[in-house]
Amino acid sequence: MPKVVEEARRSIESEKESCTVKTGKISTGKVRAISSALYRSIQDKSIDHVLMLSEELLEEQDWALGVIAYDWAYRVRDQYTDQTFFIFENWLKTYITGWGDCDDFCTHAVGALIGQRNERFRDVMKWTEDPKFCVRRAAAVSLIDPIRRNKYEQIDPFAVSDALMQDDHHLVLKGYGWMLKVLSQREPRKVIQYLEKHRTVMPRVSFRYALEKLGVEDRENLMRG
């Protein structure tokens, strides 16, 4: 096992042992501080080496070590290639089991990659049909960072919400509602028109998420409709 991975394991275990009974677990902020310090100690920061270390951490199946893994993967975003997408896709389908890990990974590392390489959107669309709810949620939340950064010229967010419209998992419904909410800050008129068109079929949880950032008058008109 690489030395820095072993150091990460020891640091996390030590921090867990020192947690108070009241908090019960290590905080995300503390994990990120550990991650930052350990990353600085890595001599070889080439993407191949860093992603290899990240996968070693992911194989531990530990929440805190996963946070570190996704953080390190995001830190080498300037080195992403097409091959990186398929590495990330494999991680998504192999290691992600909950919505928290999904959002951490997809709103940072995966989102940054898709923002750089919009052509991978065709692969993201395939995630909407995956049997795992986390992968279907990822199809939506992975677009949040590109939308926020206005790097989605070749991406159609509405195609994702169309595909996930009647998903049977509430966290997938919330995921594409969140994506539409972020999109509403970029293209409010398009989102309003989309919500008007689909208000009779869109699940309420998605609909309410999507309109949260719209103006008061628009929200009221949509809710009355």
State the pLDDT at residue 18. Answer: 78
Q: How distant, in Å, are the alpha carbons of 106, 142, 151 from that of 148?
A: 13, 11, 8
Each residue's pLDDT tens digit, 39-76: 999 999 999 999 999 999 999 999 999 999 999 999 99
3-class secondary-structure state, position 201: coil
- Measure the CA–CA gap between 168 and 132, rounded to whole angstroms: 11
In 10 A of CB 60, how many CB atoms?
18
- Measure the CA–CA gap between 186 and 194, rounded to whole angstroms: 14
Tell me the whole-structure pTM to 2 decimals.
0.94
Q: Check residue 108 and report its DSSP letter.
A: I
Class of domain 81-225 as given by CATH: mainly alpha
State the pLDDT at residue 37. Answer: 96
Q: Any idea what the Cα angle at residue 103 is, between residues 215 and 71, rounded to 5°?
A: 125
State the pLDDT at residue 24. Answer: 63
Please give the single-letter amino acid code of residue 223. M
What is the per-residue DSSP string for 129-157?
T-SSHHHHHHHHHTTHHHHHTT--TT--H
- Measure the CA–CA gap between 122 and 81, rounded to whole angstroms: 16
State the pLDDT at residue 20. Answer: 56
State the pLDDT at residue 16. Answer: 83
3-class secondary-structure state, position 103: helix
State the pLDDT at residue 225. Answer: 65
State the pLDDT at residue 202. Answer: 97
- Measure the CA–CA gap between 33 and 98, rounded to whole angstroms: 22
CATH 1.25.10.90 in the chain: give the residue spans.
Answer: 81-225
State the pLDDT at residue 174. Answer: 98
State the pLDDT at residue 68. Answer: 98
Each residue's pLDDT tens digit, 80-90: 999 999 999 99
Positions of the chain with pLDDT under 70 = 20-24, 225
State the pLDDT at residue 212. Answer: 95
